[in-house]
């Protein structure tokens, strides 16, 4: 199913009663033409490790997080939640460790932020 068809179907399902097929296709084409793209879902540690950095992801097991390089030697990647725990401590994990509990994730932004 094309992105336009998927978006049109979603609109018809959510706005049934006032949006028919012709209107949903026109609106879908306009939305896609304005640059909307369905966020991709990552399900493996390899996909997580292959992200263009910096990246922002959303995990059902912890919420929004950024994926970035450490500033120190080796420039290793890390995943850091954007919101701290109750004690204000930042939680950061290697992509491999994060994958054991944090997947799947939705990529919200990838590359230059």
Q: What per-residue confidence (pLDDT) applies to 60?
A: 87
User: Between the CA of residue 53 and those of 10, 13, 32, 102, 112, what are the distances in Å?
Assistant: 31, 36, 25, 18, 7
Q: What per-residue confidence (pLDDT) applies to 103?
A: 93
Q: What is the chain's length?
A: 113
Handedness of CA 2, 4, 7, 10 (dihedral sign): negative
Nearest-10 crossing angle of helices 3-14, 21-33: 130
Name the residue ranges covered by the structural domains of the chain.
3-33, 41-110
Q: What percent of the chain has pLDDT over 90?
A: 20
Q: What is the pLDDT of residues 47-99, one digit of tens each?
A: 998 999 999 999 988 789 999 987 767 778 889 888 766 666 677 888 889 89
Average pLDDT score over the chain: 84
Q: How far is the C-alpha of 18 from the C-alpha of 59, rounded, in Å?
A: 34
- The gap between the terminal CA atoms of the chain, to the nearest Å, is 30
Return the higher-pLDDT residue of 36 and 58: 58
């Amino acid at each position: 199913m094309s992105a336009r068809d998927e978006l049109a179907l979603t609109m018809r399902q959510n706005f049934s009663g006032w949006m028919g097929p012709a209107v949903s296709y026109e609106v879908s084409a306009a939305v896609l033409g304005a640059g909307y793209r369905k966020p991709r879902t990552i399900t493996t540690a390899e996909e997580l490790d292959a992200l263009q950095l910096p990246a922002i992801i959303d995990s059902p097991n912890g919420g929004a997080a950024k994926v970035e390089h450490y500033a120190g030697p080796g420039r290793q990647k890390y995943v850091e939640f954007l919101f701290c725990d109750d004690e204000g401590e930042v939680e950061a994990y290697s992509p491999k460790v994060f994958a054991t509990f944090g997947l799947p994730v939705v990529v919200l932004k990838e590359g230059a932020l």
